[in-house]
């Protein structure tokens, strides 16, 4: 064997020591990194850095942001990681105006609350006060109003909840554009028709209709009115057989004799 290829023990020992030293240093750095990372996490979790800094509310129209934040019961003292999303969702959904809630977290300190509210389909008048009527038929008796907001029709004279519930279903089926032109709906039952209602429109016309299939019938209203003189005043009677118009200035003795047919 050539002496050039022989490495003496004296030459190898320093290299082995250096390699072991590098390996030990790397191991020390690794353990120190873990140690300081754990210390940082403990300090972070115990400090205000990990607290909730913001609760973002979206999707609400009727309820104010503050009301929803209060329902969530989340405060700036709560730890971001300890906030129970399922529990927050359950608490907010207890409110009768809330249909559904989605709660999520955005690192590092934000809680997102996206709500979907029940639509207000009308305002029920009773004892001089107004109560919001929701699309699910719930009347908010705990929140009486002294004045109307004008975003839904006034509902009067309904003495039986059965008919009010049926009207609620029909109103929810209507497009918002149609609901916007309805001013008041008055229960006007007769001996032969307990479903009869009188509807007062924002453009001055009155409509005689039935609670049953009201949503389908009133959809034709814009088309019906377009065929009338804007200056005329009277009652539009909408039924299964179509629509007819009775002017106020014509005395009505027998409805069929005084009705002017309208193409609906």
Nearest-10 Cα torsion for 33, 35, 36, 41:
120
* 190 within 8 A of 182, measured Cβ to Cβ: no
Band (pLDDT 50/70/90 cuts) for residue 261 is low
- 247 strand-pairing partners: 234
Q: What is the pLDDT of residues 90-145, one digit of tens each?
A: 999 999 999 999 999 999 999 999 999 999 999 999 888 999 999 999 999 988 99
Q: What is the mean pLDDT of residues 173-191?
A: 92
Are the C-beta atoms of 91 and 50 separated by less than 8 Å? no
Interacting residues of 167 by C-beta distance below 8 A, sequence separation 6+: 122, 155, 158, 185, 197, 211, 214
What is the tens place of the pLDDT at every residue in 229-243?
A: 878 888 999 987 788
DSSP assignment letter at 174: S
Instruction: For residues 146 and 185, give the distance between their C-alpha atoms in angstroms, rounded to a whole number.
Output: 19
Q: From CA 155, how far away is CA 6, in angstroms rounded?
A: 106
Nearest to 171 by CA among 159, 184, 160: 184
Predicted structure pTM score? 0.72
154 contacts 185 by C-beta, under 8 angstroms: yes
């Amino acid at each position: 064997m050539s002496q050039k290829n022989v490495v003496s023990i004296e030459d190898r020992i320093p290299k082995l020591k250096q390699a072991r030293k590098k390996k030990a240093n790397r191991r020390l750095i690794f353990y120190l990194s873990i140690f300081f990372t754990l210390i940082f996490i403990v300090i972070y979790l115990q400090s205000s850095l990990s607290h909730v800094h913001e609760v973002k509310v979206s999707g609400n129209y009727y309820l104010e942001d503050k009301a929803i934040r209060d329902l969530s019961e989340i405060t700036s003292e709560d730890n971001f990681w300890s906030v129970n999303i399922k529990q927050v969702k359950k608490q907010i959904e207890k409110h009768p105006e809330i249909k559904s809630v989605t709660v999520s977290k955005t690192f590092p300190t934000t809680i997102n609350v996206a709500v979907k509210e029940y639509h207000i389909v009308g305002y029920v008048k009773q004892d001089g006060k107004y109560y919001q009527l929701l699309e699910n038929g719930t009347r908010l008796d705990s929140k009486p109003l002294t004045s109307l907001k004008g975003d839904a029709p006034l509902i009067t004279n309904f003495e039986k909840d059965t008919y009010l519930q049926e009207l609620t279903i029909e109103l929810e089926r209507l497009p918002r554009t149609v609901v916007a032109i309805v001013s008041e709906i008055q229960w006007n039952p007769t001996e032969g028709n307990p479903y009869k209602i009188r509807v007062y429109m924002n453009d001055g016309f009155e409509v005689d209709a039935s609670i049953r299939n009201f949503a389908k019938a009133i959809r034709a209203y814009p088309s019906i009115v377009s065929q009338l003189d804007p200056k005329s005043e009277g009652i539009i009677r909408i039924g299964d057989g179509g629509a007819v118009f009775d002017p106020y200035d014509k005395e009505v003795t027998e409805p069929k004799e005084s009705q002017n047919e309208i193409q609906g």
